[in-house]
Amino acid sequence: MRKTHRDEWRVTAIVKPRRPADLGLTGIGELAEFVATSGPITVAVLPRRLGSLGWVSMSDSLASRDIEGDYRRRCEAIAAELRKLPHVDEVAVAYTETHFCSHCNLQWDVLTEAEATDDGCVQDEHSIAGEPVCCEAAIAEFRAERGIPQLAGAGESA
């Protein structure tokens, strides 16, 4: 079946600086008043790695039993702090999703509507759009759930 992995956790935000200090330009507050940018400044704030404890660094899987959840919570905490800043707007937690097959671990990919009518793409005449293409186990699971006849030879040892 399709499994989802979330990675590359980050907090995106738009910085709208009004004073030089909003950009970290300090020491000129007595002399300067405003700072202008040519457009919105979009930043991605990356969380500290779960396994990076300052005094020691280890893999995330050693430091956490719920890597996805811990990164989500860490990013939400970062976002909550950023939302308090008057010159920061549109704060959002973001991540990259990848889908993979629980049987073969390859990237999850399925037949499109067009491919399902293309003899060069389908497994047999029972293939329909949405059928996985990575491995026989995924196809067998997909077909079993929908009552579609299995591939000829499915179940035999390869």
Residue 145's CB is within 10 A of a number of other CB atoms, namely 9
**Interface residue with Zn ion, options 75, 78, 82, 101 (CB under 5 A):** 101
Question: How many residues touch Zn ion (CB under 5 A)?
Answer: 6
User: What number of H helices and E strands is found in the chain?
Assistant: 3, 3
DSSP string, 87-153: TEEEEEEEEEEEEEETTT-SBP-B--TTGGG-TTT-SSTT--TT-B-S-HHHHHHHHHHHTPPPPTT
Pick 68 or 136: Cβ nearer Zn ion: 136
Of 13, 134, 142, 143, the one binding Zn ion (CB under 5 A) is 134
Q: Which residue minimizes CB distance to Zn ion?
A: 101
Stretch of 10-18, 19-27, 34-42, 138-146 lying at the interface with Zn ion (CB under 5 A)? 138-146
15 or 148: CB nearest Zn ion = 148
Q: Which positions touch Zn ion (CB under 5 A)?
A: 101, 103-104, 134-135, 138
